[in-house]
Amino acid sequence: MNHLTVGQRTPLNNLAIDDTAPITLKFTRQSPIEMDISCFALDAAGKLINDDYMVFYNQPTSPCGQIKLTHYESQPTANKGIQAEFEVNLSKLGANIDSLFFVLSADTPLNQIQSLDIGIWQQSQKAQAEYQVADFAQQQASMLMQIYRKGGVWRLANVAQGFNGGLAAIVQHFGGDVAEDHSDTVPAQTIAPAKINTSKVPLEKVMLEKAPKLVNLAKKATISLEKRQLQQLTAKVALVLDASGSMNRQYKQGRVQEVVNRLLPLAVSFDDDQALDCWAFARDPQYLGEIGLSNYEGFIDNAHGGWRKWALGPRINNEAEVMKAVTEFYQKDGLDVPVYILFISDGGVSDNRGITRVMTEAANLPMFWQFVGLGGRGYGILKKLDDMTGRVIDNCDFFELDDLNDISEEALYENMLEEFPSWLKEAKQLGIVQ
């Protein structure tokens, strides 16, 4: 049997669960207070399909009949006992159902609960998540477990995300109707709203007027943005460049400058300032300033005296330090919009523990990290981020290239934006981005 840690995300088949057969979730609790356990069926935007798709003690079956509350005990108990059992049949859910969220709520703070276990069964028990009093803060609700589609595969996330305001606030957060006005109640860790600007000038038009050399790149970026409905999103964009000694060839051959050129159309599309923030790192990180349409040409050879003169200390790898620097920069900036970070590395990653710690803490912030391995090896933890445990949300993605010229511009944008939309959706569901 698999034990699920808080923040763990994994495909169901890694737990020996067949998503074509029914699955049972059993909630066992020891609690002196009354508590409710509900299941919300959400669409791709993270909203409740409709009010009939909130399955709980007073509405035990979804309209499609594939989500059922088969057992429920409402009274508190001094001993451990099963409070709720849900049966779900994922393969028969409608295509409009993108995820199921299992939520715990009460009228008083959850930290009075002594223990709560979630067992996932399919003929035999396949996995278990365990929560103790220390896992529950003063919030009156917690988003416990999520089963969701990603890349056509059903996955499970042990979220355990606190939420202020109780059940009514969660219903409202997911777009359902509530009888009372809870408009001043917000998720416990809400940090930043995702702004939509429908008056944006088309990307190609901006490039044609201000940077005609990038028009072709803008056309290809626009295709990927439109496919993912991101063309109206407002976000910050950052670029982090490995400048360790092993990257010298990439700098000399102009590959790093080409990365700048290819990322800039996304920055122009997302950012109101039509610019991106840039860092370089070796042992030490250095903020190189903004890259915009007026200074992108030759930026790598000109900024701060050019890449050979950057103040990075010995040219050895220290990814964790620059990750901390980037995170602190945007925290001071206010994090009023999501941040998309493109992180270039040629490998030699050694501080797996430090990177894990920074990425785990950063998962609570509206920041998405897209790592790209460029012409190297030894990427360490960067290659294992999708299943890294201990995070409230999967906030990272990784792909690698032997050479930037090995991939078309169209394919590069597809890879760069593959995971970002699903992160946005999940971050909205969790109140990290609203």
Would you list the domain boundaries of the chain?
A: 2-173, 195-429
The reported pLDDT for the residue numbered 310 is 96
Q: Please give the span between the terminal C-alpha atoms of the chain, in angstroms, as a whole number.
A: 36
Buried b (16+ CB within 10 A) or exposed e, 321-358: bbbbbbbebbeeeebebbbbbbbbbbbbbbbeebbbeb
φ, ψ for residue 424 (rounded to 5)? Answer: -55, -45
Joined together, the tokens standing for residue 256 give 């790093």
Pick the CATH number of 195-429 from 3.40.630.10, 3.40.50.2300, 1.10.3720.10, 3.40.50.410: 3.40.50.410
Instruction: Report CA-CA distances (Å) from 410 to 6, 235, 294, 420.
Output: 37, 21, 24, 16
Joined together, the tokens standing for residue 242 give 């490995």
Which residue type, as a one-letter code, is found at position 412? L
HEC string for the chain: CEEECCCCEEEHHHHCCCCCCCEEEEEEEEECCCCEEEEEEECCCCCECCHHHEEECCECECCCCCEEEEEECCCCEEEEEEEEEEEECHHHCCCCCCEEEEEEECCCCHHHCCEEEEEEEECEEEEEEEEEHHHCCCCCEEEEEEEEEECCEEEEEEEEEEECCHHHHHHHHCCCCCCCCCCCCCCCCCCECCEECCCCCCHHHHHHHHCHHHHHHHHHHHHHHHHCCCCCEECEEEEEEECCHHHHHHHHCCHHHHHHHHHHHHHHHHCCCCEEEEEEECCCEEEEEEEECCCCCCHHHHHHHCHHHCCCCCCCCCHHHHHHHHHHHHHHHCCCCCEEEEEEEEECCCCHHHHHHHHHHHCCCCEEEEEEEEEEECCHHHHHHHHCCCCCCCCEEEEEECCHHHCCHHHHHHHHCCCHHHHHHHHHHCCCEC
Provide the CB-side half-sphere exposure for 92 (13 A, CA).
Answer: 13
Pick the CATH number of 2-173 from 3.30.110.30, 3.30.565.10, 2.60.60.30, 3.40.50.720: 2.60.60.30
Q: How far apart are CA 343 and CA 362, in angstroms?
A: 15
CA dihedral 74, 78, 80, 83 (to 10 degrees): 0
The reported pLDDT for the residue numbered 177 is 65
The reported pLDDT for the residue numbered 181 is 41
The residue assigned the tokens 């950012």 is: 271
Joined together, the tokens standing for residue 333 give 């900036």
Distance of CA 116 to the CA centre of its chain: 26
In contact, 228 and 417? CB cutoff 8 Å: yes
Q: What residues in the chain have per-residue pLDDT under 50? A: 179-199
Instruction: Report CA-CA distances (Å) from 268 to 95, 224, 256, 434.
Output: 34, 14, 19, 22
CA dihedral 286, 218, 397, 343 (to 10 degrees): -10
The reported pLDDT for the residue numbered 178 is 56
